[in-house]
Amino acid sequence: MNGGPSGFNNAPITRAFVIACCLFTIFFGIQGRSHKLGLSYQDILKKFQLWKLIVSVFAFSSTPELMFGAYLLYYFRVFERQIGSNKYSVFITFSIVVSSLLQLCAQAFLNDPALSLLTSGPYGLIFSSFVPFFFDIPVSTRFRVSSLSFSDKSFVYLAGLQLLLSSWKRSLIPGLCGIIAGSLYRSNVLRIRRLKFPGFIASFFSSLSFPSVGGVSPAPPARNAPSFVARQAEGNYHAPVSSGLEPPEDSISTLVSMGFDRNSARQALVHARNDVNVATNILLESQAH
């Protein structure tokens, strides 16, 4: 499944977050302290070890969890491109804060010794992202394996399931709390979706240089013209001006049902080589600018 342009183009916040997760996980893994970094009701609210609250957001408990988690964070960079870095920063903050509070409440309410230390890592953000992934990302291809039906979204769900069950109840609780946080954000509780952080935050992360992890493409000057769609496709997706394939009617209808103009939807599909997800990103980025 295609998440848009390769690398972290137009996703500086996600880039910084993924790098922070890798560095924190490696650092505490070398020290042999990864298993002690999970969220704990006793440590946070009774011992006031607030540093663990911050560290538990970035450091995964193991290398396999880091691999699956980093892959999902990297894929979900598509949402930063859709809503912009300033709004996506609000989504990150809301997801982490709400899911962390829910985790602490679950620990206090369940009073289960097995849950005295939840697994660490940005589970709240990752599983919050599954909510817009489920509702907003269309299926572009379907296939069958024996008698089972799959879509191109299935691989993302399988990676999420692996991460959700990686430490059984210790990872299940953070994942479920993340889904609840994502649902609250989508329902626009307290009109949270209207908020955005100041522009200098995204500019700061955009100015950071991280070799070999992708840059941030400059914003194109045009706004809502069909030619802008073409430039988006040429600049970010490296597709030819004409693919020679007429877009399928059902693909055009899918984009039109999402509120896009029919002619713009057709042009985006042509430049995206009839990939609905890439075409969606092209159209959303054209509206964002």
CATH architecture entry for 226-288? Orthogonal Bundle (1.10)
Which residues touch 195 (CB under 8 Å, ≥6 apart)? 87, 90
- Model confidence, pTM: 0.75
> How far, in Å, CA of 186 to CA of 177, rounded?
14
Closest CA to 271 of 216, 234, 227: 234
Boundaries of every domain in the chain: 12-207, 226-288
Contact call for residues 243 and 224 (beta carbons, < 8 A): no
Each residue's pLDDT tens digit in the chain (289 positions)? 555 556 898 899 999 999 999 999 999 999 888 878 888 877 777 677 777 888 889 999 999 999 999 999 999 999 998 888 999 999 999 999 999 999 999 998 998 888 889 999 999 999 999 999 999 888 878 888 888 899 989 999 999 999 999 999 999 999 999 999 999 999 999 999 999 898 888 788 877 755 544 444 444 433 444 444 444 544 444 434 444 578 888 888 877 777 678 888 888 888 888 887 778 878 876 765 5
Closest CA to 12 of 227, 213, 232: 213
Which residues touch 85 (CB under 8 Å, ≥6 apart)? 10, 11, 12, 13, 201, 202, 205, 206
> How far, in Å, CA of 74 to CA of 5, rounded?
11
For residue 205, the model assigns a pLDDT of 83
CATH topology of domain 12-207: Rhomboid-like fold (1.20.1540)
Which residues touch 105 (CB under 8 Å, ≥6 apart)? none
For residue 128, the model assigns a pLDDT of 98
For residue 127, the model assigns a pLDDT of 98
